[in-house]
Amino acid sequence: MELNMGKENQEGLIPLIGKRVTLFCVNYIYTGTLTAVNDASVILTNPAIVYETGPLKTKKWKDAQNFPNDWQVQKNSIESFGELK
């Protein structure tokens, strides 16, 4: 379920569609362009799995491995998310 608090105060994943996001999940960190959100999962294009972050203020991940195709992540495994790198 997505929250919609009005145009001035949108929260959740939907306002991030089309942006590069980072998903901190239970076991892994995923990054990519958020292209779709439904009740169960999100889809990332140009996705990567981050094995080592390095300093969070730098522009690149220390070790991120690209996936060859779009990737789906289950929403119930996402602990936090946002625009990061």
Structural domains present in the chain: 7-80 (2.30.30.100)
Locate tokens 């009005």: which residue?
A: 6
6-28 pLDDT, tens per residue?
555 578 999 999 999 999 999 99
The three-point CA angle 66-76-19 to 5° equals 45
The answer to whether the CB of 23 falls within 8 A of the CB of 13 is no
Q: Which of 22, 46, 43 is nearest to 34 (CA)?
A: 43
pLDDT reported for residue 11: 83
pLDDT tens across the length of the chain (85 residues): 454 445 555 789 999 999 999 999 999 999 999 999 999 999 999 999 999 999 999 999 999 999 999 999 999 999 999 999 8
